[in-house]
Amino acid sequence: MSKNAPGNVWVFIEQDAGRIADVSLELVCKARELADTLGVKVEAILPGAAVAALPPRLHELGADNVFLAEDPRLKHFSAVPFTKVIVGLARQHRPNIILFGATVTGRSLAPRVASSLQVGLTADCTDLKIDHFEDKANNRVLENRLMQIRPAFGGNIIATIVNTWDDPQMVTVREGVMKLAPAQPGRKGKVTPAKVELDATDLAVALIERVTEEKSVDLKGAQVIVAGGYGMGSKDGFALVRQFAEAIGAEVAASRAAVDAGWIGHDHQVGQTGVTVRPRLYIACGISGSVQHRAGMDQSAKIIAINQDPAAPIFAIAHYGIVGRVEDVLPKFIKAYKGRG
């Protein structure tokens, strides 16, 4: 394994009815970067039904090879059969690294794969790089290891984790954290069909019904975002955030506290356990600014914070701070915007 020739960098490709998840595309780009540093190849694992048309897209983003595990029984994601496919491939080809999106699917699949392979796994990384690691406990230096950087403890600390056992080194990464690089049209790669061997016990979990709910909001693509937090006081109070957003043509977002309070759906949550956004303007209303929230919005081009507590941590990262009650400030803001010349 790690002692012999270095393995390649793998990406699990999540797709639904032939549409590849954004995070998988982002991870192919990140894998390219890591593989170039290590001098190895990027390989994608693509399980699914009717997915044979997808590899060219992955090649153009940097994949050198796609393991195509096409089988009608893999039409819908289920942890046990998908684990079997990936573990089989990993045992055969011994990758150095496997990246998964930290989606519901990735977070159900990656731990099962890691447990089966008896390797480490780090969840929800916000950064990945290659570096050496001084393993003091065993008095050795591990070269070219994957530094798995993630917030922990509710986002109050940032930890760098290293897998010290044999490869593969496995991580999950949230959507929107890694950047999508431009595709290189015409870039070619290999496609390697993978055998899919499943028995009845692997397929014991049955899908009865699937209900797709249109995402009510596209925060990732939004240019202007108005976000409300616990300081909005109540569900009725939160209505003012929606009103404000509508008035200035913004999308509505929220902190975890407002979502947990039931004032707005989880789709709207910005932060470490929600969406990561980079809008042109982010207006935080009644949000104290926990690290977990800031992790999802501190890359915004401009940040305005409105909070009645002058000591609220959100002000530390805001470009503009308005210390005042949201119910006084927001109507004034709306009025000023309507009267802009």
| For helices 326-338 and 235-248, angle between their N-to-C axes, nearest 10 degrees | 20
- Taking the C-alpha atoms of residue 113 and residue 90, their distance in angstroms, rounded to an integer, is 10
User: Binding other proteins by CB under 8 A: which of 37, 92, 115, 234?
Assistant: 115
- Does 311 engage in binding with other proteins (CB under 8 A)? yes
Q: Which residue has the tokens 């994949």?
A: 63
Q: Based on CB atoms, which residue is closest to other proteins, 42 or 89?
A: 89
User: Binding other proteins by CB under 8 A: which of 139, 186, 188, 208?
Assistant: 208
User: Binding other proteins by CB under 8 A: which of 1, 49, 93, 116?
Assistant: 116
Q: Supply the minimum distance, in Å, between the C-beta of residue 226 and other proteins.
A: 11
- Does 211 engage in binding with other proteins (CB under 8 A)? yes
Q: Which residue has the tokens 């270095």?
A: 6
Q: Binding to other proteins (CB under 8 A): which residues in 216-275?
A: 224, 248-249, 256-257, 260, 272-273
Contacts of 2 (CB under 8 A, 6+ apart): 96, 166, 167
Of 163, 148, 151, nearest to 117 (Cα)? 163
User: Binding other proteins by CB under 8 A: which of 5, 159, 179, 192?
Assistant: 159
- Beta-bridge partner residues of 149: 127, 160
Piece of 1-9, 179-187, 188-196, 286-294 that binds other proteins (CB under 8 A): 286-294
Contacts of 39 (CB under 8 A, 6+ apart): 6
Piece of 41-49, 181-189, 232-240, 283-291 that binds other proteins (CB under 8 A): 283-291
Q: Supply the minimum distance, in Å, between the C-beta of residue 93 and other proteins.
A: 20
Q: Supply the minimum distance, in Å, between the C-beta of residue 189 and other proteins.
A: 27
CA 153 vs CA 150, 156, 158, 159: distances in Å: 10, 5, 9, 9
Q: Based on CB atoms, which residue is closest to other proteins, 159 or 190?
A: 159
- Does 83 engage in binding with other proteins (CB under 8 A)? yes
- Taking the C-alpha atoms of residue 63 and residue 190, their distance in angstroms, rounded to an integer, is 9
Q: Are 77 and 199 in contact (CB under 8 A)?
A: no
Contacts of 156 (CB under 8 A, 6+ apart): 291
Q: Supply the minimum distance, in Å, between the C-beta of residue 158 and other proteins.
A: 5
Q: Based on CB atoms, which residue is closest to other proteins, 205 or 239?
A: 205
